[in-house]
Amino acid sequence: MKQHSLKANHRRDAIIGWAFITPQMAGFVFFVLLPLVSVFLYSVQEKNLLFGTSVFNGLENYRLLLADPLFSNSLVNTLIFSAGVVPLNLVFSLLLALYLGGGKMGTRFVRGIIFLPVVTSGVAWAIVWKYLLQGGDAGPINWFLSLIGIEGPNWLFEKGWAMASVIVNRVMKNLGMNVLIFMGAVLNMPGDVIEAARIDGAKRFTLFFKIKLPLLMPTVMMVAIVTIIGSMRVFDTIKLMTDGGPEGSTMVMVYYIYHQAFRMFDTGFASALAVVLFLIVLVLTALQWFSRKRISFYES
């Protein structure tokens, strides 16, 4: 009798639990899981968005992908973009968080300024920067450079400079969020440990590298993973500022997927690209995740 009652209780709890999570699960299934599965299915089809046709073609899209020079170009561009964005973002956000966490004068104002780009509309941000980065003497940045005798390039229309411009732009736009996360970690560092190190004679350099950085390492790892994933998936900055140009020099993988799917209408090939990007991000994240204990002594 008692056992029967326990079973009924358990069933009742299960039903109530399912009732609570059903809306969330439905959203996840329809808007995350199904599209994800669809991408894998599309990747083995010759699928044209404009013509509405789809034919199973096995691994043909993957074979074409390996032979496609634009794919390797987009992969290299994505790595260059990430290699620029991730270190710059981590270093500057950590340094700023350490400065702002110190409670020095003017930190509130600086905090506001740094966070402002995060809450600014991406479109408005890009339009303003496209204006600032105009070539010749039309752009305010080049005008400023000309005052100190430097002839600025046509930032968004010259190979190399275009990639540098979008990297710096992206770093400035998203810096504030990482500063905020790091500040939380900085303010939660155990004061007694730092104080003890100071009493033991640790100088600023030693204090940072031997005490503060190891204490912050779990946060650094988390921020690094999120920033790497974000940089691998960059789309808006590229779409709004360079359209992948000049000469495809800022054509990163997600933008190439967009090109293939929505401009060239080759949804099957684009899905194969998306699967490859998914696997790359998965591997990078897994590598970081499993190596975190070697890098960070405070990982539980």
Partner 1 sequence: MKTNQTKGVVRLLTFLLVLSLAMGMAFAAGAKEEAAPSGPVSMTIATWTSNPDQIALLDSFVQGFAAQKGIEIDATFESIPFAEYNTKLSLELQGQNGPDLFWVLETAAPAFIESGLLANLNDGMQAYDPQDISSDALELWSKDGNVYAIPFSTSPFFILYNEDLFAKAGVKTPEQYAAEGAWDWEAFKMASKTIKEKTGVWGFQTVDGQGYDARILHNLAPIVRSYGGDFWTDDGQVLINSDASVAAVQLFHDMVYQDVSVVPPGNQSDFFAGNAAMTVGQISRVSKLNDAAFAWGIAPMPSGPEGESPVIGQAAIGAHSKGKQAALASELVAYMTNKDSVAAMSGIWPPARKSVLESEAFLTSNKSVSKEQMQNAVAASIKTGRVLPSHVKYPQIEVESKMVFDKLWQKNADVGAILDDVAAVYAKYIK
Name the residues that contact partner 1, by CB under 8 A: 5, 8-9, 11-12, 15-16, 19, 49-52, 70, 130-131, 133-136, 138, 154-158, 243-248, 251, 259, 262-265
Looking at the Cβ atoms of 230 and 248, the one nearer to partner 1 is 248
Looking at the Cβ atoms of 266 and 292, the one nearer to partner 1 is 266
Q: Is the peptide bond before 214 cis (omega within 30 degrees of 0)?
A: no
What letters, b where the CB count within 10 A reaches 16 and e where it falls short, cover 219-239?
Answer: bbbebbbebbebbbebebbbb
Looking at the Cβ atoms of 128 and 283, the one nearer to partner 1 is 128
Looking at the Cβ atoms of 70 and 76, the one nearer to partner 1 is 70
Least distance in angstroms from the C-beta of 195 to partner 1: 54
* Cβ(215)–Cβ(193) below 8 Å: yes
Strand residue runs (E) in the chain: 45-48, 53-56
* Cβ(220)–Cβ(94) below 8 Å: yes
Least distance in angstroms from the C-beta of 269 to partner 1: 11
Least distance in angstroms from the C-beta of 155 to partner 1: 8
Least distance in angstroms from the C-beta of 140 to partner 1: 12
> Beta strands 45-48 and 53-56: pairing type?
antiparallel
Looking at the Cβ atoms of 81 and 129, the one nearer to partner 1 is 129
| 3 state DSSP class of 216 | helix
Least distance in angstroms from the C-beta of 60 to partner 1: 17
Looking at the Cβ atoms of 9 and 120, the one nearer to partner 1 is 9
Looking at the Cβ atoms of 93 and 249, the one nearer to partner 1 is 249
**CA separation for the pair 34, 38 (Å, rounded):** 6
Q: Write out the two tokens for 259.
A: 């090109």
What dihedral do alpha carbons 224, 230, 232, 233 form, nearest 10°? 170
Least distance in angstroms from the C-beta of 267 to partner 1: 9
Looking at the Cβ atoms of 133 and 179, the one nearer to partner 1 is 133
Least distance in angstroms from the C-beta of 160 to partner 1: 12
Least distance in angstroms from the C-beta of 33 to partner 1: 20
**CA separation for the pair 271, 265 (Å, rounded):** 11
* Cβ(89)–Cβ(227) below 8 Å: yes
User: Whose CA is closest to 114, among 168, 178, 184?
Assistant: 178
Q: Position of tokens 């993957």?
A: 62
**CA separation for the pair 214, 194 (Å, rounded):** 12
Q: Which residues pair with 47 in a beta bridge?
A: 54
Phi, psi of 265 (to 5 degrees): 65, 15
